[in-house]
Amino acid sequence: MRPYSILDPNASLTDRLIIDQIGRNSRVIDLGCGDGRLLCRLRDELRCSVQGVELDHREVIEAIAKGMPVIQTDLDHGLKEIPERSFDFAVLSQTLQQVRHPQELLGEMLRIAKRAVILVPNYGHWRIRLQIMLHGRAPRTSSLPYDWYNTPNLHFLSMIDFRELCERMQFKIVHEIPIIRGRAAQAAWAANLRADNALYVLEHI
C-alpha cells in the first residue's frame, strides 16, 4: 500500500494541478518559486506574465538563468513591496504550513492578487490519524521524513481546518480539489479522511 505522502512541490504533477487553475495571459506570482520551473511553464505554455519570490540564493540564481524575474525575500517578512492587486494569481505550493504566520500570508496573497492558488498537505488523512493513535507519536511521512524537532512544517492542518480559516478570513473558496494518491479527485467522498493533499483557489468575498 502507498504510504501517505506530501506532494512534492517539484513534481511535474504538482505543476500540472496548479497550471490548470490559471488562465491564459494572466499575471502570476509564485511565492517560493524555487528555480522558476513552474513560472517557465506558465510563461511558455500559457503566455503568462510571471514573477517569482524565493529566499534561497542558489534557487534565485537558477531562476535568473532561466530568464525568470525573482525577488529574493523571506515570506515570513511579508510582501510589503508588492503593490495591491498587481497580479491575477498568487501561487503558494506546499509552503503555507512552513511559514510562521500563515494567516497573515494568506491575507497578503489576496491583497496582491485577485486569486490565490494554494496547495497544502492534509494532515486529516486517515494514515496520520492512525499513526498518532497507534504509536502515540508525531506524524512522520515518507516524502518528508522529519522528526518533530527538525521539520520545516510548522503547522499541521486538515482540510476542515483550512476551510474554517477561509471562512473566518472571509475568503471565498472558488475551488477545493482533494488530491488522493497524486490525482485530483473533485467531489471525493470523505475527502478529509482520504486526501493526502488539497488544492484551493481563493478569492475575496
- 70/199 with CB nearer other proteins: 70
- 63/199 with CB nearer other proteins: 63
Instruction: Give least dist CB 29 to other proteins, A.
Output: 8
- 67/152 with CB nearer other proteins: 67
202 and 173 in contact (C-beta within 8 Å)?
yes
- 27/163 with CB nearer other proteins: 27
Instruction: Give least dist CB 24 to other proteins, A.
Output: 16
> Distance of CA 149 to CAs 9, 51, 141, 144, Å?
22, 33, 14, 13
Instruction: Give least dist CB 32 to other proteins, A.
Output: 16
Residues 6+ apart with CB under 8 A from 42: 19, 22, 26, 28, 30, 48, 50
In the numeric block, the cell 494518491 is attached to 181
Interface residues toward other proteins, by CB under 8 A: 27, 49, 51, 60-61, 64-67, 69-73, 80-83, 86
97 and 154 in contact (C-beta within 8 Å)?
yes
- 111/163 with CB nearer other proteins: 111
Instruction: Give least dist CB 23 to other proteins, A.
Output: 16
Instruction: Give least dist CB 117 to other proteins, A.
Output: 18
Euclidean distance between the first and final Cα of the chain, in Å?
A: 41
